[in-house]
Amino acid sequence: MLLEREGYAFDRAGTVKVGLERIKAVDFDLVITDLKLPDGTGLEVIRASRARHPELPIIMITSYSSMESAIAALRGGAIDYIVKPFDNDELLHAIERALKERRIVRENAAFRRNLRNVYDARPLLGDSPGMRRVGEVLRKVAASDASVLISGESGTGKELVALALHFSSPRAGKPFVPVDCGATPREALEEELLGHVRGGAGGTLFLDEISELAPPLQLKLLRLLEEKALVPLDVRFVAATRRDLPALVERGQFRKDLYYRLSVISIALPALRERGDDTVLLAQHFAEHYARRLGKRIEGFDAEFAAFLRNYPWPGNVRELENLIERTVILADSGLLTGRDLAEVAPALPMVRAAAPLPGGARPLAIEEYIREVIERFQDSHSETELARMLGIGRKALWMRRRQWGLKRARKDVSR
């Protein structure tokens, strides 16, 4: 009557047998069981339910004379017990607390699945020397609990490396908790740090942009790391930064002792422009991934598109590459991604030569070489404004370069 009055959807069973059959058939959010039932006890309900659904919360109702059974229920996996005769508000409060915990568990599970999906969609691909070194370090340190510091430019995949470390470690089934030290308010940041570490949830605590951590929190984090060294805490610390942390230490902007605690293992991620043909490999992966999601088929890239992938300096690194490929796949009309597709989705990016891909060992084009090739190729077919926008420079800068290099438009036939 109480549950019905409060608007809960519920099912009722009078015996252990019927109750367990219903639990097998329906995905319940909560089980409330009395201790004494006609064909058994609530302890049997708890054992059988927990064996089948380990995360299903259970509340035991018992009497003052059965406190030992209440303790046994808690040890068996019940999250709470209510003593008869109970107050209605007491029971409702226990139900609300149990359902809230259930929601949190499900949200965390969904979050972990999403993280897994992100990791599976963006694996650590690359055969360049820099990425091979990263892979070797990950393989060596995955099984340990050593703190890891990941450094690299924005967009190089620092969180992805942290995920790879987490999912290749014995902690893979436990939470991966990302904390943005630069964007999270100080009070919330302190609660996340202390709550996760002392909460005993285990897993990996990923501290992104650790260089932005305020000095008072640097001290508290240092104490947590020192405590972990003395009394084992079930959490691994992985930090990341796009800034030069040793330089910040030298300037007194970051604690030296905290730096040493965090950087037991250091991983430096190379920029995408330093990774050679990894750019094409990553682009192929992203193209196939987004094509599958859109129900398209991507066969590859033409020579112009491939040359652009190899030569463009990618200031936004892997993040910029993925964004560009996603847009190109969405708007492409055929299975072959071409320079024309590229010009449509990113007109401000400098286009490169339309000839065959660069031969092995050839050096990438410098920025000024880029600009000259674009001007030479497109100045007769595009207006000054279009050409400047394609290059991402102003019209005055475009005019000065054309004058410097003696580049002139072809004269148009004005005869009538």
The pLDDT value recorded for residue 383 is: 79
Taking CA atoms, 242 is separated from 29, 269, 341, 342, in Å, by 43, 10, 32, 29
Q: What is the pLDDT of residue 356?
A: 34
Distance CA 21, CA 13 (A): 9
Summarised one tens digit per residue, pLDDT across range 204-235 is 999 999 999 999 899 989 988 887 766 667 88
State the Cα–Cα distance between residues 207 and 165, nearest whole angstrom.
14
Structure tokens at 240: 């990341």
Tokens in use for 29? Answer: 């959010």
Instruction: Write out the chain's pLDDT in tens, 416 residues.
Output: 888 899 998 999 999 999 999 988 888 999 999 888 999 888 899 888 888 888 888 998 887 666 777 777 777 778 888 888 888 998 898 898 888 878 767 766 666 666 566 665 556 788 899 999 999 999 999 999 999 999 999 889 999 899 989 988 898 888 888 888 887 777 777 777 766 665 556 789 999 999 999 998 999 899 888 877 666 678 899 999 999 999 999 999 999 999 999 999 999 999 998 998 999 999 999 999 899 988 999 889 988 888 888 878 888 899 889 989 998 999 888 889 988 888 777 765 654 443 334 444 444 445 567 678 778 877 887 778 777 766 656 777 788 888 888 888 775 543 43
C-alpha distances out from residue 373 to 125, 183, 292, 306, 368, Å: 31, 41, 35, 16, 9
- Measure the N-to-C terminal CA separation of the chain; round to a whole number of Å: 95
Same fold, 2-109 and 122-270: yes
Q: Any idea where the domains of the chain sit in the sequence?
A: 2-109, 122-270, 274-405
Secondary-structure class of domain 2-109 per CATH: alpha beta
CATH class, 274-405 region:
mainly alpha
State how far the Cα of 413 lies from the Cα of 107, in Å rounded to an integer: 68
The Cα 3–Cα 8 span in angstroms is 5
Its sign, for the CA torsion 44, 49, 55, 61, is negative
DSSP-assigned states of every residue in 338-365: -HHHHHHH-TTSPP---SSPPPTTPPPP
Cβ neighbors of 259 (< 8 A, separation 6 or more) are 149, 245, 246, 249
Cα 357–chain centre separation: 33
Express each pLDDT in 299-339 by its tens digit: 899 888 888 888 788 888 998 899 899 989 998 888 899 88
Specify whether domain 122-270 bears CATH 3.40.50.300: yes
What is the pLDDT at residue 109? 62
| Alpha helices (H) along 122-181 | 129-141, 158-167
